[in-house]
Structure formats: structure tokens, C-alpha cells
Chain A
């Protein structure tokens, strides 16, 4: 195993916490990968903002139906038991607390659960999509992310410096190095890579990592 998890391995770890029968929304891009790693014997039901529950993987090239897409505008298929609905019903599912979990990407996460994942500042064209709705609707909001930015700066911080998507909304963060819960305004370390000393992990994290009970090894398969 390398010194950090690949995106697929982070997605795999997040997938292990999705219960059988859970209704799940995956953010567009990297989080979509979580769907590939459902544990055998469990069935999660995926929701997409544009009006489908229980969609499946992409069709083979050439077999796309462009009326049947996900929020990332990618062609999908249906599983038995799928349903279509309009956008107001879709976001009633989101804001009404009917989704069990939303798994989103992040630019920054703060120790109080604040999330920044929609804007890197005033330059360019702003775009928000459904992220601000999802963070206040799902029963559990988890983030999957690299532990640090491309240039090595912490993404887990005392307070976010980028524009917020939501306030105090994230409850668990799966990173390339650790699994961290957010409880009572603190990062609480649950799992870390066995080869990673706690001091090193702390030095790569922008706020204090609290220890509450045992810290398990973060063990994932080669993928």
C-alpha cells in the first residue's frame, strides 16, 4: 500500500458505511465512484437531483438514452423499482430529510462541520447546483477528499476560508489518510493509516485532532 489512499480506496471506505436499504445521493464527479463499492448483500438506492431514484451504472457506449441522465449529465440505466419525479419532489426528498446520506466532495471542511465545496472565490463563473440543498437535507452528510490540497496545504481546518456551502453540516470525513468524525465542534479521529504517525497526521490537519476511544487502522483493499 502506498502512503495514502487512492480516490477509489477512499470511495471504497465510504461505501462500507452505507447500510442496506439506505437512500443515498452522491455528488457529481469523485463521489459517484462510491456506487461501485457497495458491499455484497447490501442494496443502496441512489437518488439523483434531476428526478430518478434507483438508477444504475452507465449504459455501454452507443446505448445512451439522453433523457435518462444523472445530475452530472451522464447517461445512466434504471434498476428494477426505479421511479421518476419532477424537481420539486426531488428536492422535497432532499430538504425534507428523506435521504439517509449524502456524500460530497470538498475544497475545505471545518472542525465545526462547515463545508466549502462550490466556489474557489470571485474569479470565473459561479455555479452551485444542488450542493447547498443537500447539506441541509440528508440525515448524514459525509465528505470524501484528499487530506491535503495539491500543494500540500490542509483541507481540514479550524474555519473555512473559501465561500461556504453550508454551516455545521458535515458529520464524517473520509480522507486519503484518515476517517474523522465531527462531534461538538471538534475533529475526532476514528481511523488512520497504520504507517502514519499521529504527529504527522496532525501536522497535515489544520485543527486539533481529538482522540475519543480507540483509533483503528484504516484498512482498505488494493483496488
Chain B
């Protein structure tokens, strides 16, 4: 078994028009910038993939990474908790012009919906959002005298995540708080692809240190020196 993908272009080659794509990261931390840019490169060259539904905590920052994906016109709908950032101009302008759909989800509910998708649980109840506008149209049920909102699972065709070390079986480790949504998204997509700083042979990661077991991962691609969204934005970078 070897889940190594030789390069970024190959890693994103299977993502088609209209795909639902989970993209890991919280702001720039754990964001797979290079995989996102490879997807943009393909769109620029071929016009595909377009009409994507993207699931991420945020809506991008500046003009690189997720913001650049949105700016390229590839995203039809965004499912996220916090579409604001230091420089949210790309999403804000498209949203206010009615050119991109937004499904706003409380952050913990977003995480749990993804977890549920990965765990085969079609719905669950949470107190989060009860009595608020974000519970409109959702089923409410009382348990032990308290009211809860029914939320549905979230699944995706693809997950693009950033990890630290990966082995050829797809076992992954993460770095610091760059873990965030990445392990959850690996479980909830049909095809999960991780960019990793280094690919090692099986046994190269201590089993005690594996955060995402390789059963959840279909491909690993090496990006030895991954870029950080914050560093790129401070340098005024634009990916176009």
C-alpha cells in the first residue's frame, strides 16, 4: 500500500464541477494553501472545477488560499461559522452582490456536523442556537426538561487538509493548533487528501503519535516548506 501522490496537480485532478469540498484550517492555521492554489491553477488552465461548495470555518483572508479560490469564481456556496477576517473583501463583495451563497453554522455545530458525517450519524441534538434565528426551520425536541435543536451531518466528496508528517499508509500528525478541523474533515469526505511536510515509511510515525489514522486518508502529497496565510498576507501576496 502506498498512498503517496507525486505532485499537487495530481492530488486535485479528480475534483469535478459541483463537488463538495471540505478545506481544513482555522484562519491560516492548518490551511492547505498549496493544495488550494493547485486547484486554482487547474481552474485557470481548464475552467474546472467550478460551482464548488466549500466547507471551512472562515471565508478566507486577503487574496491567497481560500480567498483566492473564492476570488477566482470557483465557489458557489460556502458553509462556515465566521466569514470575517482582517481582510475579508473578496467574500464580502461577492456575498453582498448576491453572487455566493452562505450557510452560517455555529462553530461547535459545524465541527460536530462534520464529526457526525464521518461517524455515520445522520443527525444529533444540540442546545446551540436554540431560540435564535439560526434554529429557524429546524426540529426542536426536549430532553430532561431542556430544549435542543436537531442538526444534520455534513459529508463531502473531497477533503483537502494540511498535516505535518504523513506515512505512506496515510497516518497523520499535526503541528500545534493547526490540527483544528483537519482530523474531522478527513473522516467525513469520500476522498481525503493531506499535504504533509514530510512523507515517511510505515513505522516512521510512532503509533502513539498518530492523530488521524490512515483509514481516513486516501492520498498524501509532500509540500516540504508550506506557506502560512498570515505571512503571505503581511507581505501583501496575491494569488492570481
Contact = CB atoms under 8 A, between A and B. Distances in A.
Interface in B110-143: 110-112, 114-115, 126-134
Given A50-B26, A128-B134, A167-B131, A87 B81 contact: no
Interface residues of B, number: 53
Name the residue in B27, B82, B175 with the highest tally of chain A Cβ atoms < 10 Å from its Cβ: B82
Contacts of B95: 125
A48 B180 CA distance: 11
A129 B81 contact: yes
Given A164-B133, A166-B132, 16 more contacts: A66-B29, A67-B176, A68-B176, A73-B27, A73-B28, A73-B85, A86-B181, A125-B84, A127-B84, A128-B105, A128-B106, A130-B106, A133-B107, A133-B126, A136-B130, A165-B132
A88 B115 contact: yes
A132 B183 contact: no
A130 B96 contact: no
B39 interface: no
Interface residues of A, number: 40
Interface string A44-83: 0000111110000000000011111100010000000000
A130 B81 contact: yes
Interface stretch (A90-98, A149-157, A173-181, A196-204): A90-98
Interface string B59-102: 00000000000000000000001111110100110011000001
A37 interface: no
Contact of A84 (B85, B92, B176): B176
